[in-house]
Chain A
C-alpha cells in the first residue's frame, strides 16, 4: 500500500520517524519509569525470591532442581515485558486515535498508517529490549543465571512484549471506549501473570489442567525465558514456544494494519 509512493529524503524508511516520535516522547517523561524499571526487579526478587523462597525451600526443597529465586527470576522478566507490551498499547493507542488524536495528526504528514504502526511496535521492541537488559543484569546480580544462553533474555523479552503489544494495539485502534480495557487487564493479563507457570512448574497443576496452561500465551514466554536462563530445554518445545509468540506478533501486525488504516484514513 505504501510502496508506490516516493520518499522525500534519505534512504531511511518512513516508520523510523514515528519510532523517533515515541522515543522523544519517552525521553521527556522517562524519569519515573526508569527508576521503577531498575528498582522493581530488585525489590521483587528480594521479597519473593529470597523471602518466600526461603519458606519454599524449607518445605519442599528445590523447584525443578532450582532454588525458588532462580526459578521465578526468568518468569519475572517474561511477565514484566508482557505488561510493558500491554501498557504501551491499550490506553496510549486509544488516546492517539480518539482522545488526543496524535495518530490522526501523524496521518496528515507523509506517514502512512502502516508507518505509524511499525514505528509504535519498533518502539515497544526498543523499550522492552532495554528493560530486558536491565532485568537480565539484575537477575545476574542475584546469581540466578546459569548459562550463556541467558544473553538471549533481552531478545526474548522484546519478543514477548511484541507478541502482546501487536494484537492489543490492533484491538485498541478499533475501540470506541476504554470500557473493555479493564476487562482485558483483569481477566487476561492478571490471570496470565498468576497462572502461566510463573511461580511454580506446570507439573504442580493436576493433569487435566496442564494442557490448558499450555494454551496460555504467556506460558510460552515464561518457558522460553526459563530455558534461556538455565541453558536447557528440548529443541521441539522451544521451537513451539517461539512459534506461538511469533504467530501472535504476526497476526497482531496484520490485524493492526487493517484497524489502524480504517481508523485513520477511511
Chain B
C-alpha cells in the first residue's frame, strides 16, 4: 500500500540553526503516528512541513502521493491541522468560527451549516454554539479547534500538542474523541511531550531529540527494547543521592539518579524492593510501576521529557 505520507531525509534549517536533521519516515493510511520529544526537539518544525505549510530545506516529501512544493493548496485541502495555540476568533461565536473557517476550503454555505452542527455535536459544544469563544474554557476552546480542523472532512489530522495545558478530565474527553476519529479511518499525526498521551493514542511513534529520531516503533516495542519491565522509584529524605547510586547499582540492571528520586530498572520490582530493605537501605518512599515511554526517553537521552 502507498503510504499516506512519506519523508526521506527531511531537513529544516533556519539560518545557521538546523531544527530537523535528515529524518525519514512513512505513515500508513489509518495509522495514528506520534512524535514524542521535549520542547525544542524539532516536532513543530516537522509538523509544519508535513502539513504542507513550510517547505523542507532539503529532502523528499510526499503527502497523498503529491509533492507539497507544487500541490500545496490541494494537499492542505485534505488535511486538518490543530495547531499548538488555538488561533480562534475570540470575539465571534463558536458556530461562526467553524463556518468562517470552512469557507477557506470553499465549502458551500448549506453544507457548512450542517457540518458545523455535526461537529459541535461531536465535540460536545452544541449548547455553546452561539456563545462568544472568549467565554469558553480551555478544554472547550481546544475541542472547538479540533472541530474546526475537521470542517473539511480531512483524511489526515495533524495535532500539535493537543492536550497541553488541559486538566485531566478535559484531556480524557479529547482522547476519547480522537479514538473515535481513528475508528472512522482518519489518519492521526500527534506531537506530544506527554508519554501517557503517546502511549494512549499512537500505534507507532518516533522519539525526537535535538532534531533527530532517537528511536522508532510501537510504544510497547520501544519500552521492551529500551527499558526493563518494571521500575522501582525511590525517594530518600536525607542521604546523598550520589552515594546511593553505588549502593543501589547491584540491585538493578540500570540506575538513574534524578534530582528528586532514584529509578531502578528491574524485571520484578517487588523482589528488588524486598532485597533493598533486607540490605538495610531505607528509602522514605518507594513505588513499583511498569516502564513507560518516559523511561525510554530517559534511557536514550539521559534526560526527562518534561522539565
Contact = CB atoms under 8 A, between A and B. Distances in A.
Interface of A: 2, 4-10, 12, 14, 17-18, 20-21, 24-25, 28-29, 100-102, 104-112, 264-266
30 contacts: A2-B73, A4-B70, A5-B70, A5-B72, A5-B73, A6-B74, A8-B77, A10-B106, A14-B106, A17-B103, A20-B103, A24-B103, A28-B91, A29-B91, A101-B85, A101-B87, A105-B83, A108-B51, A108-B79, A109-B76, A109-B101, A109-B105, A109-B152, A110-B73, A110-B106, A111-B104, A112-B72, A265-B48, A265-B54, A265-B55
A17 B53 contact: no
B100 A21 contact: yes
Contacts of A8: 73-74, 77, 105-106
Contacts of A107: 53
B153 to A, nearest CB: 13
Given A17-B103, A21-B104, A102 B89 contact: yes
Given A100-B87, A100-B89, A104-B87, A110 B70 contact: no
B54 A108 contact: no
B205 to A, nearest CB: 22
Nearest to A20: B103
Interface string B152-173: 1000000000000000000000
A21 B104 CA distance: 8
B90 interface: yes
Interface string B85-99: 101111110001000
Contact of A265 (B53, B89, B103, B105): B53
Interface residues of B, number: 32
A265 to B, nearest CB: 5
B189 to A, nearest CB: 13
A18 B104 CA distance: 7
Given A110-B105, A265-B55, A6 B71 contact: yes
Nearest to B151: A109
Interface string B199-242: 00000000000000000000000000000000000000000000
A5 B70 CA distance: 6
A7 B83 contact: no
B147 interface: no
Contacts of B54: 265-266
Interface string B26-59: 0000000000000000000000100101110000
Given A2-B73, A28-B96, 17 more contacts: A5-B70, A6-B74, A10-B106, A12-B106, A17-B106, A21-B100, A24-B100, A25-B100, A100-B90, A108-B53, A108-B81, A109-B152, A110-B73, A110-B105, A264-B53, A265-B53, A266-B54
B97 to A, nearest CB: 10
A193 to B, nearest CB: 28
A20 B148 CA distance: 17
Shortest Cβ-Cβ A-B pairs, 4 listed: A110-B73, A109-B104, A108-B81, A105-B87
B100 to A, nearest CB: 5
A82 B178 CA distance: 48
A110 B87 contact: no
A103 B143 CA distance: 20
A219 B225 CA distance: 74
A259 to B, nearest CB: 16
B74 A5 contact: yes
Contact of B104 (A2, A25, A106): A106
Contacts of A10: 106
A21 B71 CA distance: 23
A12 B55 CA distance: 26
Nearest to B72: A5
A4 B74 CA distance: 11
Contacts of B85: 101
Contact of A28 (B14, B83, B88, B92): B92
B87 A111 contact: no
